[in-house]
Every structure is written in C-alpha cells, then in structure tokens.
Structure 1
C-alpha cells in the first residue's frame, strides 16, 4: 500500500521503475517528517505526544512512526535485555511500555547503532501498533497503522462489460461496474448488487479490516470459498463502493470485455486485524455518521 507496500515505488515488487543510469539498491528505506501531531495512548494515559514524528517507509511494511525519546512520558519505557538486528538499521533495543498497573512487553523499540545515512531516526522510539491502546493525530483516532500520505483510492465509473462465472453459471453480468484504483494494487472491480445473482452468494463468518476502506465482509460464490467481498459500510472516502461486491479473479472466472482477469503477482493481502481495544462499531459507522464527525 502506498509508498513501500505491495507494488508501490519502494516495494520489492514495484510495478514501475526509477529512470536512472545505475540500478538502485533492491531495498530502499524512506524517512520523512510526519508534520502532524501524533499521540499514543496506553492504559488510559498519554504515553507519547509529539509534533516531531518521523515516518519510516520500509519495503513490505506499513509506515512506522518514530517519536523523539524526549516526547515520551518519563517512566514509560523499561529497557529489556533483548537486542535484535535490523537488516538495514543495525542493533535494535526493546522496551516494555508501562502505564498505571499495565505493561506491554516489547511494546516499543529503538535503533541504537544507526548507520550515518539513517540519522533521522537517532534518539527516537517506535511503539508497537497493537501493543498500544490507540494512536491519534490531533483528536482523531488513526486505526490500522500510521497513515500513509502516498496511499489513495480513486474510483471511476465505466460502461465496460464485466461478467463473473462459476462453471457454466453466470453470477454477475454488468455494464456499470465501478473500478477502484488503490495505491500499489491492481484495479479492483465492484459490481452493483442489481447486476448479481445474489442466490449465488453465501455470507460467511470472518471479516478483515482495511485502514482506508473499513470492514470487509466475505461470501462463498456458488460453492467457491470466500470468492467475493463487500464493504457493507464503506468509509466516506470510498462511499461509492459501499455495499457493492468485488470478486476474486484467482477464485472465480472474471471477464472484462471478454478478457479473463488474473490476480497479479504480489497482490495477495494478509488479513488486517482490528486494533487493540477498538470496538467494531467504532470502525463501521454509517457513511452519514462519519461524514458528520
């Protein structure tokens, strides 16, 4: 997603390339000022509060926020004996995070022997996203991971002909799908329910979470397990695909203008769980509710 995830420009499976004379290193890390106030809450207390956060983009990982140690509340970090090695950034020290009577073992880390080229991360500490209670930008909770400014979703209407089949059965037939272009991903095609034989869809248990779109619900499609999904209460940023259905081209046969779609290499997504202490209702409000917040 965004700059360094999936097929973004700094990802190891980047779909494009930099037009330079000499090949770039296979792994490129990018650090930049967040330029937003970010706070971390744990055990009901603010354990870090900073307007000087640095965001690290690392290939294959979500962005990670690094806070100046001076902006962490005194007594919060308890250094552990554990030391690991980061392949690019050297020795990494680990900390327990304490607030009140609660402790998060290995809840934070610091790169203690940085190479000269990574000086932006000196004297900074990062907190494990799910080890903490919540992260905020100003007064708004940020869920999933630190927000990637390079991640975006663009949705376009189209009159292209999309057909979904399972064997000889036509599950969907539409001349009005929507296509969602998401940073680092191949286009995803969403079909209005009016163009779907909904008797072929069986809702299944288990949802996944996208920090940019909300909770995804899944369907078996004419017996094919989890062959489709829908954002039933999509966030306002992607409200146009709310309650539409998208089909997995590696599980069912999806044809676009008679051309069979295939899942592009590197496009498998690891399910994203819900943040610690986050009520599902907090991330699935109605579009109207979120627009009014």
Structure 2
C-alpha cells in the first residue's frame, strides 16, 4: 500500500476520514449508541461525543454514568495521546463475559478536549455488538486503534497493514 493512500470514493451521506483534521476534532453528535457484552446491554445512550482524526474512523465517547453498574472496572496502566492527554483503562464486563483493557478515558483531558471528561470509549472488537443508530459497527483494523466503522464513513482506514506511516 502506498505511503499516502488514495481516499476511497465518497458516496452520498458519507464522510471521508481523509477530510478529518489533525489535530483531531471533538464534537457532540445526534446518535444513539448501544453496546452489548455477555448477552447484556451494558450501555444505551444518546449522549454521544465523537473524535475525528485524519485517516481514522470516528471514536465514540459515552458518559461513564450511562454504563450499567459494574460494567467498567478500572485496571492498571495507562497511555498518553499527544492531543488528548493521559488515558486510563477499564476492563469491561457484561453477563458472564469480561474484556480486559477494552475501554479507556481521559480523566483530565488536554485543553480543547474538555468534552471527553467523564466519558469512555470502547474497543468494538471484544464486544458482542456495538451499534450506532441501529447499525452494527466494524472495528477499526489492527489491534491498537479504537475507531468504529459504519456505512457513513469512507476510508481507507489507518490500522491496515502498511498504514503505520500514514
């Protein structure tokens, strides 16, 4: 794959991830997000914020308070984003299932990312299902990034083999 990929054609009603900014933008969106794990709904909310960054599908952040009791369990370790600041991680539990380090948040986000305070993002891959407005999402390729792919975004998406330099 080329170092700088050619954006996929954009269909009506779609956004190209290649039109997203860097540094990323945070925005409140009118959407309903439902996540299921272990056969249970662990969150169902329309209080949704998304982060848009060049070459990445949107990352959805949901209020910690909207999650079912016991669904988010703080775990050890953290990471740092040059834009959003220091992140902490959570194990995610639902029914009899548990996904280690499958969610994260920025408890004290960097200036400009204040909307992320008290919100959490979840990796789609280890969940039973993640939905945006009733559409099942596809996880962003690779194991590092947490974007959610829906029919409303066009790629190609960072995370595929050969995309490290994008």
User: Aligned equivalents of 1:125 and 1:131: distance in 2?
Assistant: 15
User: Aligned equivalents of 1:53 and 1:268: distance in 2?
Assistant: 23
Give the match for residue 115 of structure 2.
120
Q: Shift of residue 60 of structure 1?
A: 3.0
- 2:59 aligned with 1:73: no
The structure 2 residue matched to 1:10, chosen from 20, 23, 42, is: 20
Give the match for residue 90 of structure 1.
85
Secondary structure at 2:114 match in 1: helix
Give the match for residue 124 of structure 2.
129
In the alignment, is the contact (CA less than 8 A) between 1:4 and 1:58 conserved in 2?
no
Q: Shift of residue 137 of structure 1?
A: 3.1
Counterpart mapping for 1:171-190 below 5 A: 183=154
In the alignment, is the contact (CA less than 8 A) between 1:3 and 1:148 conserved in 2?
no
User: What TM-score, normalized by structure 1, do the two folds share?
Assistant: 0.43
User: Aligned equivalents of 1:269 and 1:90: distance in 2?
Assistant: 21
Q: Shift of residue 82 of structure 1?
A: 0.8
Give the match for residue 41 of structure 2.
46
Q: Shift of residue 38 of structure 1?
A: 1.0
User: What TM-score, normalized by structure 2, do the two folds share?
Assistant: 0.73
Q: Shift of residue 126 of structure 1?
A: 0.4
Gapped regions of structure 1 (runs ≥ 5): 12-26, 152-182, 186-266, 272-293
Report the structure, 1 or 2, having the larger helix content. Answer: 1
- 2:37 aligned with 1:147: no
In the alignment, is the contact (CA less than 8 A) between 2:38 and 2:128 conserved in 1?
yes
Secondary structure at 2:125 match in 1: coil
Secondary structure at 1:70 match in 2: helix
Counterpart mapping for 1:236-247 below 5 A: none
Q: Shift of residue 268 of structure 1?
A: 9.3
* Cα displacement string for residues 41-72 of structure 1 (whole angstroms, at most 9, x for unaligned residues): 11111111110111111233221110011111
Give the match for residue 105 of structure 1.
100
Q: Shift of residue 148 of structure 1?
A: 7.0
In the alignment, is the contact (CA less than 8 A) between 1:4 and 1:61 conserved in 2?
no
Figure out how many residues of one structure are paired with residues of the other and give that number.
141
Give the match for residue 160 of structure 2.
270
Q: Shift of residue 128 of structure 1?
A: 0.5
